[in-house]
Amino acid sequence: MYIDTVLLKVASRCNLDCSYCYVYNMGDDAWRAMPKRMSPTTEDAVARGLGSLLHSQGREFSIVLHGGEPLLLGAKRLGSLLSKLRAELGPGCGISIQTNGALITSAVLDTCAEHRVTLSVSIDGPAAVHDRFRVDRLGKATHAAVEAGIRTLQAHAAGAYLFSGVLAVVDPETVPEAIYDYFKALGVPSVDFLYRDGNHSVLPYGKASLASAEYGAWMSRILDCYIADRSPFRIRMLDDMMKLALGGVGVKEGVGLTDYGILIIDTDGSVKKNDTLKSSPLGDCFDETWSVHHDALHEIAVSPAFGAYHMAQRPTSPICADCSLLKICGGGMLTHRFREGSGYDNPTVFCADQTLLIGSIQKHIDRYLPAEAA
- Residue 273 pLDDT > 90, yes or no? no
Residues 73-100: tens digit of each pLDDT: 999 999 999 999 999 999 989 999 999 9
- On whether residue 102 sits in a domain, the answer given is yes
Q: What is the DSSP string of 73-123?
A: GHHHHHHHHHHHHHHHH-SSS-EEEEE-STT--HHHHHHHHHHTEEEEEE-
- On whether residue 77 sits in a domain, the answer given is yes
pLDDT of residue 24: 73
Q: What is the mean pLDDT of residues 299-315?
A: 88
- Nearest CA to 275 among 73, 98, 88? 98
- The bridge status of strand 190-194 relative to strand 271-272 is unpaired
Total domains in the fold of the chain: 1
- On whether residue 361 sits in a domain, the answer given is no
- On whether residue 366 sits in a domain, the answer given is no
pLDDT of residue 279: 66
- On whether residue 368 sits in a domain, the answer given is no
- On whether residue 226 sits in a domain, the answer given is yes
- Nearest CA to 11 among 106, 100, 84? 100
- Residue 277 pLDDT > 80, yes or no? no
Look up the domain containing 151 and give its range: 5-355
- On whether residue 284 sits in a domain, the answer given is yes
Helix or strand (DSSP H, E) at 190: strand 190-194
Instruction: Starting at the earlier edge strand, list the strands of the sheet with 190-194.
Output: 234-235, 190-194, 163-169, 117-122, 95-99, 62-66, 5-9, 262-265, 271-272
Q: What is the mean pLDDT of residues 63-67?
A: 95
Measure CA of the first residue to CA of the last residue in the chain; give whole Å.
34
Question: Looking at residue 303, which CATH number applies to its domain?
Answer: 3.20.20.70
Helix or strand (DSSP H, E) at 160: helix 159-162
- On whether residue 253 sits in a domain, the answer given is yes
Residues 102-145: tens digit of each pLDDT: 999 999 999 999 999 999 999 999 999 999 999 999 999 999 99
Label residue 345 by pLDDT band (50, 70, 90): very high
Residues 183-232: tens digit of each pLDDT: 999 999 999 999 999 999 999 999 999 999 999 999 999 999 999 999 99
Q: What is the pTM of this model?
A: 0.93
For the chain, give the mean pLDDT. Answer: 92
Report which of residues 31 and 182 the model is more confident about.
Answer: 182
